[in-house]
Structures are given as structure tokens and as C-alpha cells.
């Protein structure tokens, strides 16, 4: 119980911290919106259930007015902005990523986590995000898909990096990445 609460809370805090440290850039100078990488990490490290709860906790804190989003944003406005779909998708993205890594027996671990991150952290996030943009901007779904596709290469790169990070985490703290023990 205590360990679950602590991990859920610390990952929510980690996502917030990743949004607050501005100097991180990916290869080729693509700035990380490190927070979507945090979603992938939460799902891949904590698993489906705790990953979901951790991201839900993060969203609740944003909703009650803490400036936890990248650039010190937050509050209820974040849930009606055109990008709100991506935000609302956080728990579901983490859940799908977690479900994948827990149930698909695939080696090496990094590949499993990377594919899970593509499914949860890219596909699920984009699906929600596109619907949100479509509502907010009054554009059709295909038009919004075109708008977000520009970000796809960067996000796929993030998923790959997440795979590598999870593999390293599983080596460093095998007891914390529980599913990595199973075959």
C-alpha cells in the first residue's frame, strides 16, 4: 500500500519535474516535451494500473490549479485548450503502455518498452489529442491528423529513447521494474 502510493506520487512528481527543467533537448535539437515521455515511462515502469493512477493523480493536481505542466501552466484552462486531448489521454496512454509491457512476452526488455511506448504514448495520445483538437479548432479529424503528423518523428524518437531508458532502469533497479523479471 505505502509503496504503491509512494511510487504513484513520485512518478507524478517526476512528470512535473521533467516539465520544469527546460534545458533538455533530444538529438537534433528537438526539444523534449519531456512530459509525454514521462507518460511512456510511467506506464512502462509502473505497469498499467499504477501507471494509470499516477497519471490520473497528475491530472487532478493540474485541475486543482497547480502549475505542473511544461512552462508552469496548469489549472482548468488546460482541459479546454486545443491541446487538452493529449493531456486527458495521459492516464490512458500510460495504461496501454503498461498493459503491453506486462502481457507481451518480448525480449529484449528495451524493445518491449519501446513498442509499448509507441502504442500508449504515441497512438493513444494522438487519438485523444486529434479528437480534442478537432473539437477545439472546429476542424475535421483528417485535417487535425495532418496537423499533428509533423510531431510524429519526434515522438517516435521519444518512444525509442524510453525503451532504452527502461532497459537501463530494469538493470539498475530490477525490483522496481517488476514485469522485467518475467520471461
**Residues between 51 and 70 that touch another protein (CB under 8 A):** 53-54, 56-58, 60-61, 63-68
* Residue number with CB closer to another protein (105 or 134): 134
The answer to whether residue 101 forms part of the interface with another protein (CB under 8 A) is: no
Question: Minimal CA–CA distance to 147: which of 121, 129, 120, 122?
Answer: 129
140 near another protein, rule: CB under 8 A: no
11 or 105: CB nearest another protein: 11
91 vs 96, which CB is nearer to another protein? 91
Q: Which of 111, 123, 131, 136 binds another protein (CB under 8 A)?
A: 136
- Nearest to 39, CA basis, from 170, 162, 168: 162
Among positions 26, 131, 145, 156, the unique one binding another protein when judged by CB under 8 A: 26
Question: Angle 152-172/109-117 helices, nearest 10 degrees?
Answer: 140
Binding stretches for another protein (CB under 8 A): 1-14, 16-18, 20-21, 23-27, 32, 34, 37, 41, 45, 53-54, 56-58, 60-61, 63-68, 71, 73-77, 79-82, 136-139, 147, 161, 165, 168-169, 172-173, 176
Amino acid at each position: 500500500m505505502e509503496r504503491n502510493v509512494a511510487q504513484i506520487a513520485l512518478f507524478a512528481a517526476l512528470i512535473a519535474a521533467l516539465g520544469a527543467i527546460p534545458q533538455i533537448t533530444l538529438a537534433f535539437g528537438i526539444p523534449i516535451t519531456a512530459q509525454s515521455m514521462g507518460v511512456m515511462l510511467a506506464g512502462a515502469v509502473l505497469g498499467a494500473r499504477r501507471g494509470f493512477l499516477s497519471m490520473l493523480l497528475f491530472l487532478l493536481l493540474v485541475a486543482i490549479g497547480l502549475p505542473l505542466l511544461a512552462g508552469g501552466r496548469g489549472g482548468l484552462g488546460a482541459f479546454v485548450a486545443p491541446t487538452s486531448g493529449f493531456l486527458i489521454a495521459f492516464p490512458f496512454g500510460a495504461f496501454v503502455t503498461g498493459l503491453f509491457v506486462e502481457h507481451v512476452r518480448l525480449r529484449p526488455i528495451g524493445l518491449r518498452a519501446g513498442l509499448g511506448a509507441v502504442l500508449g504514448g504515441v497512438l493513444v495520445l494522438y487519438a485523444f489529442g486529434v479528437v480534442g483538437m478537432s473539437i477545439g479548432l472546429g476542424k475535421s479529424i483528417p485535417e487535425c491528423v495532418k496537423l499533428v503528423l509533423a510531431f510524429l518523428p519526434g515522438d517516435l524518437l521519444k518512444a525509442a529513447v524510453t525503451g532504452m531508458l527502461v532497459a537501463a532502469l530494469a538493470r539498475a533497479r530490477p525490483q522496481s521494474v517488476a514485469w522485467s523479471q518475467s520471461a
